[in-house]
Chains A and B, each alone.
Chain A
Amino acid sequence: MDALAATLSNFTQTPVFGVVVTLAAFELGCAVQRRCGGSPLANPVLIAIVLIVAGLERFGVSYDTYMKGGWLLRFLLGPATVALALPIYADTARIRSAAPGIMAGIAVGATVACASAVGIARMFGGSHELLRSIAPKSVTTPIAIGISEQLGGHASLTAVFVITSGIIGAMLSGRIYDWIGVRAWEVRGLATGVAAHGIGTAQMLATNETAGAFAGLAIGLTGLLTAIVLPVFAGWL
């Protein structure tokens, strides 16, 4: 029994552990979503994170130990973001003809995301550290971390807020657009990319190629806009 425990604890120290655990939890999350008829509410990222955190806490494995393998999958976020150029390129004609709407939607959506997050957190008595960490939460993870550091926020806390926003967006987007009567895939995709970056975009890519292209475009433009504008208003936070 001791030998088994020792083998298991040795296993957690290898990079294979983080990779296997992440893949297994995500696969389970996807299976649950399929069981729920593909409902966006059964978000596989959320399910996987909850399972892994619960498991690590239960068996006393630290985050750093998990990340020995976990960083490998996090690293792939970079190449995957680069690959978003493919659906964007495939839809260039449609994007060109919708340029004014795209610019307006991103300017308003990105401003609302940032201002309302900071405003609401402040209204509920959030600390300064919290405000600075929550401000860039609609931007894709790597850019948000950069902005947060520049503002004096907590980078890894910002990453958590970014991912939570992405999950919320992926879960609610479809219902919200149906509710406000927005049917065009271009518009649904763009607004999801503005508010819920990569996780929202993954949901859009799974539903409609054009929606995915507009969401991917929105990730890039929202990141660009927020990176330029937000540090100017840093004094208010």
Chain B
Amino acid sequence: MLTRLPLSGSIIGMILLLAGLMLRGGAPEEFTRTGHATLGYLSLFFVAPGVGVMQHLPLLRAEWLPILAALVASTVLAMISGALVMQSVNRLVQRHATGAAVAAVICEER
């Protein structure tokens, strides 16, 4: 089951590195600096696969309306829904935590 998942090596690597950092309790400064330098160019690494668009120009020309509508609307909707859901759950949890803390204080005072 696990081997059939199309998980990429890079995501597995990210999980392994995170686990390693947690076990070790941090990273050497040199390593952190290299990592952050690489991350600074993250978007550069998307340019070459993006140029792959030129292989699909005929299909894109034929179906540009469904494609553009689907990509723009779904990306915007995902950002709005994801953000609003996380924000409201955060507030619920916070209110619950504050409520519990207030209750604890009241109990103690009694």
Contacts and interface: CB of A to CB of B under 8 A. Distances in A.
Contacts of A223: 7-8, 11
Contact of A18 (B42, B48, B49): B48
B83 A182 contact: yes
Interface string B69-105: 1111111111111111111011001000000000000
Contacts of B48: 18, 22, 66-67, 70-71, 73-74
Given A22-B44, A176-B80, A180-B84, A196 B49 contact: no
B106 interface: no
Interface residues of B, number: 65
Contacts of A77: 10, 42, 45-46, 49
A210 interface: no
Contacts of A177: 79, 83
B82 A169 contact: no
Interface of A: 18, 22-23, 25-26, 44-45, 48-49, 52-53, 56-57, 63, 66-67, 70-71, 73-74, 76-89, 92, 98, 100-102, 104-106, 108-110, 112-114, 116-118, 120-127, 130, 134, 137-138, 140-143, 145-147, 149-150, 154, 156-157, 159-161, 163-166, 168-170, 172-173, 176-177, 180, 182, 184, 186-188, 190-192, 194-196, 198-199, 201-203, 205, 212, 216, 218-220, 223-224, 227-228
Q: Which one of A117, A134, A143, A199 has the greatest number of beta carbons of chain B within 10 Å?
A: A117
Interface of B: 5-11, 13-15, 17-18, 21-22, 27, 32, 35-36, 38-56, 59-60, 63, 65-67, 69-87, 89-90, 93
A92 to B, nearest CB: 7
A49 B47 contact: yes
Contacts of A140: 8, 10-11
Contacts of B66: 120-126, 130
Contacts of B39: 80, 83-84, 86-87, 202, 205, 212
A168 B32 contact: no
A206 to B, nearest CB: 8
A90 B70 CA distance: 35
A163 B50 contact: yes
A92 B65 contact: no
B42 A201 contact: yes
Contact of A104 (B50, B54, B55, B89): B89
